[in-house]
Structure 1
Amino acid sequence: MEINKQLQNEIIKKIKEVFDPEIPVDVYELGLIYDVIIHENNSVHVSMTLTSPSCPVAETLPQLVKRKIEELKLINKVEVELTWQPNWNRSMISEEAKLTLGIL
C-alpha cells in the first residue's frame, strides 16, 4: 500500500505539469482531476473534467495528462476518462490556486 501511495504522489506530480492554457494554474489545482486509481498491474485510470464543455482544449488536455503519466517508468497503461459529472465549478479550485488567481 505504501508503494501505491508513493506512486500516486508521483502521478499527481506529473499531472501538475499540465496547465490549462487560459488559466495560469495546473489542472490538478484547478480541481479538474476527480480521481486517480492505480490498479494492481500499475495501470492507471484518471477521471477528469474541463472548466466547460466548450473548452477549446477539450481534445488535447486529457491527452496531455495521459502522456505526462506515461512518462513514469512504473506505469503500464493509462486511461483518462473525460466526464461532466459533477459539473466543475470554482469551489473545486484549491486554496493555493485561488490565491494565485486572486479569488480568495
Structure 2
Amino acid sequence: MKSQENIWLYNNLTVILGQKNGFTEVVIHAPKEILCDITLTWKIAVPESSRVLNDHWERTYGDVSWHKPKTSEILPWYFMEITEKEEINRGELTIQRYQSIINL
C-alpha cells in the first residue's frame, strides 16, 4: 500500500484514518471490490503490567480471563485493558452505534 499522511492507496482501495469526536475513524472506499475482512493493527508499546480481558468472538465459553496480551491474539470487536496506571476499554464502533451516541 502506498501512503500519504493518513491516506493509504492500493489498486481500487482507499483507506483513510482520522480523528473525530475523540474516536479514531477508519473510512474505506472500495467501489470495485467486495470486502470480506478488515484487519487493523497498531504498532504500540505494551506496558509490562498490561493485562487484557476479551471473550471468544462475542461469546463466553468459560475461557475469559485477564492475561498478558499476545501478539498472535485476535481481539474481535472489543476488549478491556488494565495497566498499573489506567483502565482502558477498546472496541469497534459501527456508524449506526456512533450516530446513536452523538445524538443522545
TM range (shorter): under 0.3
TM-score, scaled to structure 2: 0.27
**Would you tell me which structure has more strand in proportion to its own residues?**
2
